[in-house]
Structure 1
Amino acid sequence: MERALERVCACTDTHAAVAACDPLQARAIVRQLPILNRKKDVPGIVGLLRDILPAHGVPSRWGFVEAAAAMRDIGFFLGSLKRHGREPVDAVAGLEPTLLDLARVTDLPPRETLLHVTVWNPAAADAQRTYTGLSDEAHLLESVRISMAALEAAIALTVELSDVPLRSPAFAQGCDELAARLQKMVESIVYAYRYISVQVFYDELRPYYEPIRVGGRSYLGPGAVEMPLFVLEHVLWGSQSDHPGYREFKETYVPYVLPAFRAVYARFAGRQALVDRALAEAQAFGARDEAVGAGLAALDRVFEVLLRFRAPHVKLAERAYEAGRSGPAVGSGGYAPGMLGDLLALTRAAQSRLRTALSER
């Protein structure tokens, strides 16, 4: 599993480099946004954004790190303007070509994403960019940081496990390592329960995550749904799922994850998922094979951890939208919260097939 660790180290280094980068010299300027947002000072927001926009053509000469950091800082203005009822590219001349240039350099959407506002955002209190300055927002960003590196490692592990025979000791070992990585997702949801008010999220934070239009297309705002957990589950159990809502869900959010994870998604699209391959091998080797039993049991432990994240996540989303029942019926990343219930049911169904095979031993 050494290759998986090498990949995640590379990702972690990139995240740190972007967080430390300030190509627009915008740190102090962006940190004025919470005050302007509280005042609903749209002219003030527009003026500051104009001050930090790079000169025409400059973004095309940047590398990934500089372009991602610039999009981060511009992005907080995008969400702020939309929160106050303005389409950013209509409000600020010259903004749209800059966003499109940054998108080309990073191969990401032409606005801020979950990556920009969390792992590419300095965590230090005197440098962190926010829309509101509220402690709940700082905790929301931290809840993502808690698990992102572990999740990226978990995706790499899942890809590697897809080629490891079920009966190999390396399969059970890899599953246990995968479960340990995914435990960080559980920790992140526990943290969110503890430190983020659902009422504050719905009333004060969610309005900054609305879609905006760039280049004639609509782009979703940052949301936890953009975490690449769905890429991991695609490889683990969902690559051949015929659930239309689930397929649409995945295809909606693939453009918002890193290009490397989009490549993983494409590689496994329509291919036999890891759990299906494991069940086929179990059937071929027979019920009494001890190595088969060990592999299936280890895979079941992965599902147990996934469900310890999925079930509380559904409840947290339900609480948030119960708190704001008179408002929008879609989540902060543009999805209907009911989709989380479908994901939970699909994950349980995959585990049920696995447990049926275990019970037949």
Structure 2
Amino acid sequence: MERTLDRVGAFAATHAAVAASDPLHARSLVLQLPGLNRNKDVPGIVGLLREVLPARGMPSGWGFVEAAAAMRDIGFFLGSLKRHGHEPTDVVPGLEPVLLDLARATDLPPRETLLHVTVWNPAAADAQRSYTGLPDEAHLLESVRISMAALEAAIAVTVELSDVPLRSPAFVQGCDELAAYLQKMVESIVYAYRFISPQVFYDELRPFYEPIRIGGQSYLGPGAVEMPLFVLEHVLWGSQSDHPAYREFKETYLPYVLPVYREVYARFTGGPALVDRALGEALVLGVRSEPVRAGLTALEGVIKVLLRFRAPHHKLAERTYEVGRSGPAIGSGGYAPSMLGDLLTLTCDVRSRIRAALDES
């Protein structure tokens, strides 16, 4: 348990450092955005953004933390302007170079991402940045905060497990630790079900997450799909999948996760995933061996937790876009909600492969 807290705490501390940073001294200005958005006051939004922007571009002394926090605060203006029908760089001269500088400093896209608006955003009511100020938006941000650090810890465990033999007691221990971290994803989706109205999400929140153009390229808006769960699943079971829509899905969102996870993704691409390797070992060793059965059972336990997240996430997306049937059929992060059905099916297939191996005895 102590190790678990240490892992999660380390990731949470990094998020907290960015959340606490206000290099542009923009807190009071960004907090005016919900009122301006309610009034559709585009000149007011543009005027505040001009006040927020650093006069001489990004200061040379800034590191990752300052650049990420600055992108967070500028980013809420970007989504707001696009929600009212304007490309931000078209209406604010001098904005584009600042965004590109911040992107280079963080090695992330030149706009706000899921990280910026959730875990890098102060949670305190008098400091939390918001497009709308609605309770549903605050709950949406909290649903991501519940699970992000635990998910990052889970990725670290999955990478470690890739080198642990199936029959080792450490394999079972690692799977149990991994399942415990992933349980936070289940908690986050339960929280979202309880506190976020599909109607409010679709009508009031989603319009702030539209793509914008910067430097001649289109960049997707923040969406839960940018969580690095797809990186974990790539290492766990998906690195050799030949499902074309699944491959495209992963490659679409890869630029929106931290550089360290892009490196993890590249390291495992084309090689056997953890499940593939474990099933190969089981075939050689025989599933009647108790350590082998214990390892496969623990691995199945991880997949079961993933399914407890995937199934309700798919239902929640269907429910949300049923509410907005007459509007856009693309999710808040730019994906088709049907992709969640594909992910659910692929995850079920992984569990079936493990069950088939266990049943061979």
With normalisation by structure 1, the TM-score equals 0.98
SS in structure 1 at match of 2:147: helix
Is 1:231–1:261's contact at 8 Å kept on the other side of the alignment?
Answer: yes
In the alignment, residue 217 of structure 1 is paired with which amino acid? Q
- Write the mapping of 1:1-361 to structure 2, written as runs, cut at 5 A: 8-361=8-361
User: Any stretches of 5+ residues in structure 2 without a counterpart?
Assistant: none
SS in structure 2 at match of 1:234: helix
TM-aligned CA deviation for residue 224 of structure 1 = 0.1
**Cα distance in structure 1, aligned partners of 2:60 and 2:239:** 36
TM-aligned CA deviation for residue 287 of structure 1 = 2.5
TM-aligned CA deviation for residue 13 of structure 1 = 1.9
CA RMSD of aligned residues (A): 1.4
1:138-191 Cα offsets, whole Å, 9 max, x none, are 000000000001000000000000000000000011101100100000000000
**Cα distance in structure 1, aligned partners of 2:28 and 2:287:** 64
**Cα distance in structure 1, aligned partners of 2:61 and 2:89:** 22
**Cα distance in structure 2, aligned partners of 1:91 and 1:58:** 20
In the alignment, residue 131 of structure 1 is paired with which amino acid? Y
Q: Structure 1's 59 and 351: CA in aligned 2 closer, same or farther, altered over 3 A?
A: farther
Is 2:68–2:116's contact at 8 Å kept on the other side of the alignment?
Answer: yes
**Cα distance in structure 1, aligned partners of 2:216 and 2:8:** 35
In the alignment, residue 298 of structure 1 is paired with which amino acid? A
SS in structure 2 at match of 1:213: strand
User: Any stretches of 5+ residues in structure 1 without a counterpart?
Assistant: none
Aligned residue pairs, count: 361
With normalisation by structure 2, the TM-score equals 0.98
TM-aligned CA deviation for residue 356 of structure 1 = 0.2
SS in structure 2 at match of 1:262: helix
1:188-235 Cα offsets, whole Å, 9 max, x none, are 000000000000000000000000000000000000000000000000
Is 2:167–2:292's contact at 8 Å kept on the other side of the alignment?
Answer: yes
In the alignment, residue 323 of structure 2 is paired with which amino acid? A
Is 1:4–1:157's contact at 8 Å kept on the other side of the alignment?
Answer: no
Following TM superposition, where does structure 1 have runs of at least 4 consecutive aligned residues deviating by more than 3 angstroms? 1-10
In the alignment, residue 21 of structure 2 is paired with which amino acid? C
1:48-97 Cα offsets, whole Å, 9 max, x none, are 00001012243443100000000000000000000000000001010000
TM-aligned CA deviation for residue 8 of structure 1 = 4.9
**Cα distance in structure 1, aligned partners of 2:274 and 2:121:** 34
SS in structure 1 at match of 2:262: helix
